[in-house]
Structure 1
Amino acid sequence: MAHIPPPPDFASIEAAAPKTAEQRSRVLALIGNIVFSWSNNESLFIYVLSILLATDEVSAAIVFTTLNTTRARLDLIQRLAKVKIRDPDVAAELDKLIARFNKASRVRNEFNHCLYTVGETGEITHTQTMKLQEVRGHLRWGEMKPMDEMRLKQISKAIADLTKLNRDIWSFLPRLQAACGAKAPARRNGTAGKTDE
């Protein structure tokens, strides 16, 4: 028989929740910011793909979105880079940018795919990962981590890293064009993929 935990005392939590609204707002703002920053950085790889394929933004976006995972999109970019980029320094720089994005992705994924635990007064106290872990030969569901000050600083650091990465990708695009001998990809506006702090 499956063990189902008792339901929370929703009425009690809702009555106490106004006292912890500031903590929840801070946590949710950080999570929203990391999702926003990550998504805008991922979208910049459409321009990388546009240069590598020597095509326009819309065509590159069609190819990009037809692949349904970030990993598949970045794999395609890295494979194309091997045959399109003539300058080894530019190729190495692209690999480093992708590695930085992947590092930030791990933090984003952790908060995008987890179960959040709410305390008796409505504060967000823990996350539980949605991954299975094997411990001493037994499968266990989801590592629990506290949503403490150190954890919030980890999210803030990931956001700062994504903001810096965004600027670095923008400055990399002209060097990529030169290394591929491609024309600048046509853009509909000047704000796509831009991350603001």
Structure 2
Amino acid sequence: MLLIGRLNYSWTNTESLLIHLIAGLVGTTKETAVIIFLTLNTTRARVDLVERLSKMDGRDPAERARVLEVTRRLLGLSGLRNRYNHCIYSFDPDGGAPRTIQMRIADRRDAIKVGQTDLLDAAARADIDAAISNLEALNRAIWALIAEYRYPA
């Protein structure tokens, strides 16, 4: 559970850097960008905004490429983060590995599937560790972009 907490912290810390990208791409203050960021209530909406701003006419192609590279990396990590944030946890009273129970409905042709379960085993821990490492690297890449393009920090 501590590892999932670390994943959440790493995710939130990295996603919040979109504030600086919004400020730089809009040409506004960090405070105004915070309001924009908080008004958009999903990661997907925030990333869509940043990507659309980077694709506007007149944007430096190198800047656009850098912004799109970091947003695509962030979205690539969102699946694992969502798996562990949009579930409930089941603990074995006999000390076995905990399980996640997904809180989503999977529509099939003629049925629905609810409550897919997965073990929180060594493989899951390795996936979470890898995601945290990737988020740390992405965080550094976004800070480098912020510094290079002098976005409000």
Q: Does 1:90 align with 2:60?
A: no
How many pairs does the alignment contain?
A: 153
Corresponding residue number in structure 2 for 1:195: none
Q: Does 1:133 align with 2:106?
A: yes
Q: Percent identical across equivalent pairs?
A: 37
- Partner Cα separation in structure 1 for residue 88 and residue 52 of structure 2: 35
Corresponding residue number in structure 2 for 1:154: 127
Q: Does 1:66 align with 2:39?
A: yes
Write the mapping of 1:27-46 to structure 2, written as runs, cut at 5 A. Answer: 28-46=1-19
On the 8 A contact 1:50/1:56 being kept in 2, the answer is yes
Secondary structure at the aligned position of 1:34 is classed as helix
TM value normalised by structure 1: 0.72
- Partner Cα separation in structure 2 for residue 86 and residue 80 of structure 1: 9
Corresponding residue number in structure 2 for 1:169: 142
- Between stretches 60-69 and 79-88, larger displacement belongs to 79-88
Corresponding residue number in structure 2 for 1:56: 29
- Partner Cα separation in structure 1 for residue 57 and residue 134 of structure 2: 28
- Partner Cα separation in structure 1 for residue 109 and residue 99 of structure 2: 24
AA partner of residue 99 (structure 2): H
Q: CA deviation at 1:131?
A: 1.3
- Partner Cα separation in structure 2 for residue 132 and residue 45 of structure 1: 30
Flag structure 2 segments of 5+ consecutive residues without an equivalent: none
- Partner Cα separation in structure 1 for residue 71 and residue 34 of structure 2: 18
Q: CA deviation at 1:135?
A: 4.4
On the 8 A contact 1:116/1:124 being kept in 2, the answer is no
State the superposition RMSD in angstroms.
1.7
On the 8 A contact 1:50/1:57 being kept in 2, the answer is yes
Deviations 1:126-178 (A, max 9, x none): 1111111234621010211111101111000000000000001001113334x
- Between stretches 149-158 and 101-110, larger displacement belongs to 101-110
TM value normalised by structure 2: 0.91
Residues 57 and 123 (structure 1 numbering): CA distance in 2 closer, same or farther, change over 3 Å? farther
- Partner Cα separation in structure 1 for residue 67 and residue 84 of structure 2: 26
- Partner Cα separation in structure 1 for residue 32 and residue 71 of structure 2: 22
- Partner Cα separation in structure 2 for residue 153 and residue 79 of structure 1: 34
Larger radius of gyration: 1
